[in-house]
Chains A and B, each alone.
Chain A
Amino acid sequence: MKGLPAHWRLLPQRYNLIGSYCKNCSGRFFPQRSICPDCRRTGSMEEFKFSGKGEIYSYTVIRAPPQGFDYQVPYVIAIVKMDEGPFITTQIVDCNPEDVEIGKRVETVFRKVIADGESGIIRYGYKFRLTD
């Protein structure tokens, strides 16, 4: 189990969908990167907050969960195409798995993700829900 700093330093991306905008090529990336993967410039990246809106691009329903996610089964994992361009992998919550379809609109919600056992750190972060 990781200590507190391992989680604390990721709060901007987990809580606020902070990524990067490249001043050189106008590319947008999530999460933050220091080197632009498209134009390879350094020093051209600025903080960028994503709107948290987008649409379902692909999805699956997890029936055999990893450790710590057992109580959520079945749950939907999707790749969402965000309105600003990049894709993001996320849970889709507050719906029946049968309601999820490619192309449906979604928005971000702030949720508990996983707890490190009974007395460990509770980790929070982004999930998405349907808005259609």
Chain B
Amino acid sequence: MSSRVGIIGVGMTKFGELWDRGYRDLIVDAGAMAIKDAGIEGDQIEGIYVGSMSPGLFAEQEHVSALVADYSGLRGIPASRVEAACASGGVALREAYLAIKSGEMDIVVAGGVEKMTDIPTGSAAVALMGAGDQELEAFKGVTFPSLYALMARRHMVEYGTTIEQISQVAVKSHNNASLNENAQYPFRVTLEQVMNSTLIADPLRILHCSGITDGAATVILASEEKAEELNNDPVWIRSSSLATDSIALHDRKSFSRMDAAILAARKAYKGAGIKPEDIDFAELHDCFSIAEILAIEAMGFCEFGEGGKITEDGETELNGRIPINTSGGLKGRGHPVGATGIAQAIEAVLQIRGDAGKRQVKGARTGLIQNVGGSGATCVVHILSGEKE
């Protein structure tokens, strides 16, 4: 293994229903911003990894690796698409990190993009269900909200977690999103609004669910040597870990905890040589509000079963003990699936640089980001820090 890896530039589009931008426009917009932010020229880039869950179904376009290189003005360089459902962005980030760690490349782009609103919502839901088991889940009439509802029900039964606590996750995320100009839903919601919103899959309601979103995000990674040469003060990727579990929810050891997330977190802390107490803030995968509670527990920010309680007690708020999803999370910022993992990295970089504006966490130096594919079959965790070690 060679040198340390740092993030030297970031760029993202606004997240939302972006009718005037197509798939290629989105990723090129985000890429150009990141290149500018890094202060480099395009010809210094040695490779591209682009996370995209289902451009074939969402935008009727495959082979997006070459497309992205072409439209970024980078014909000729190696480009690969990475797919791991909603964790595609996080896994693309990891592949870019490994490319530098291997010693093969010094400056690598990790991007994520999804254009989800060009097709009817029903068709988008079908595409998203591809992240589950087609035969054993989708064929039975299962939807993604219903998989997380099955987990929520077990968490409520086993730990006494309440629907108020689950709803408070969405209230908190929207509070943070209201401070984020790139967020899809930059407004506050009340606990009553969440708890009285339309039922989707009992006990989950529509305000417990992330939406359908267009957007792209890009980060530029460099080796320590290259970052020094460029006179760039990067945010360091202290560790990267990836874990998998059964594709079908019903084959897991437990439905009230997420084992792939627990495994990935354990490896990430070991890799960085730190503990959960050393984390100043985290971006967690709250595709549904219950998922944030499972993630808080898996990341070790509280005991198992206490995730709902610490949310209710305000510990995960912007000024709480461990601020979670300062960006607004998947719920408030929006969830263009392939772009989400990269957007999480960007929020961490902004917090560590001190550039997070109204949602800045005071003294933020070390953050954790966690990106989930499907109902928990893939989980990728990165620890980012302003400190080299």
- Interface residues, chain A, with chain B CB atoms under 8 Å away: 10, 13, 31, 37, 57-67, 69, 72, 75, 77-79, 86-91, 97, 102, 113-114, 123, 125
Query: Which single member of B138, B141, B154 contacts A58 (CB below 8 Å)?
Result: B154
Contact B202 A125 (CB under 8 A): no
CB B172 to nearest CB in A, in angstroms, measures 24
B343 in the interface, Cβ–Cβ < 8 Å?
A: no
Question: How many residue pairs, one in A and one in B, have C-beta atoms under 8 Å apart?
Answer: 96
Q: With A60-B201, A64-B201, A66-B138 as given contacts, are A87 and B250 in contact (CB-CB < 8 Å)?
A: yes
| Chain B contacts for A87, CB-based, 8 A | 250-251
User: For residue A126, which residue of chain B has the nearest CB?
Assistant: B140
* Distance in angstroms between the alpha carbons of A63 and B203 in the assembled complex: 11
Q: With A79-B255, A89-B137, A102-B157 as given contacts, are A62 and B201 in contact (CB-CB < 8 Å)?
A: yes
Closest 10 CB pairs of A and B: A60-B149, A87-B250, A69-B141, A61-B202, A58-B150, A60-B201, A58-B153, A64-B200, A60-B146, A63-B199
Interface string of B119-156 (1 = CB under 8 A from A): 00011011001000001111111110110011101100
Q: With A79-B250, A88-B250, A102-B157 as given contacts, are A63 and B141 in contact (CB-CB < 8 Å)?
A: no
B349 in the interface, Cβ–Cβ < 8 Å?
A: no
Contact A79 B249 (CB under 8 A): yes
B248 in the interface, Cβ–Cβ < 8 Å?
A: yes
Contact A66 B143 (CB under 8 A): yes
Interface size class of B (residues with CB under 8 A): 35 or more
Contact B200 A63 (CB under 8 A): yes
Q: Which of B146, B153, B154, B251 has most chain A Cβ within 10 Å?
A: B146
Query: Which single member of A64, A79, A89, A114 contacts B145 (CB below 8 Å)?
Result: A64
Interface string of B13-37 (1 = CB under 8 A from A): 0000000000000000000000000
Contact A62 B146 (CB under 8 A): yes
| Chain A contacts for B129, CB-based, 8 A | 66
| Chain B contacts for A69, CB-based, 8 A | 141
Contact B126 A66 (CB under 8 A): yes
* Distance in angstroms between the alpha carbons of A130 and B192 in the assembled complex: 34
| Chain A contacts for B139, CB-based, 8 A | 113-114, 123, 125
12 more contacts with CB within 8 A, not counting A58-B154, A87-B251, A113-B141, are A31-B135, A60-B146, A60-B153, A66-B122, A67-B125, A77-B140, A77-B141, A77-B146, A86-B250, A86-B251, A89-B250, A113-B139
Interface string of B67-108 (1 = CB under 8 A from A): 000000000000000000000000000000000000000000
* Distance in angstroms between the alpha carbons of A89 and B214 in the assembled complex: 31
| Chain A contacts for B137, CB-based, 8 A | 89
- Interface residues, chain B, with chain A CB atoms under 8 Å away: 122-123, 125-126, 129, 135-143, 145-146, 149-151, 153-154, 157, 198-204, 246, 248-251, 255
| Chain A contacts for B126, CB-based, 8 A | 66-67
CB B198 to nearest CB in A, in angstroms, measures 8
Contact B140 A90 (CB under 8 A): yes
Contact B202 A10 (CB under 8 A): no
User: For residue A70, which residue of chain B has the nearest CB?
Assistant: B122
CB A44 to nearest CB in B, in angstroms, measures 19
Q: Which of A31, A63, A72, A87 has most chain B Cβ within 10 Å?
A: A63
Contact B199 A91 (CB under 8 A): no
* 22 pairs, A vs B, C-beta closer than 8 Å: A13-B135, A57-B154, A58-B151, A58-B154, A60-B153, A60-B202, A60-B203, A61-B202, A63-B202, A64-B200, A66-B125, A66-B126, A66-B141, A66-B142, A67-B123, A79-B250, A87-B251, A89-B248, A91-B141, A97-B202, A113-B141, A123-B139
* Distance in angstroms between the alpha carbons of A57 and B255 in the assembled complex: 10
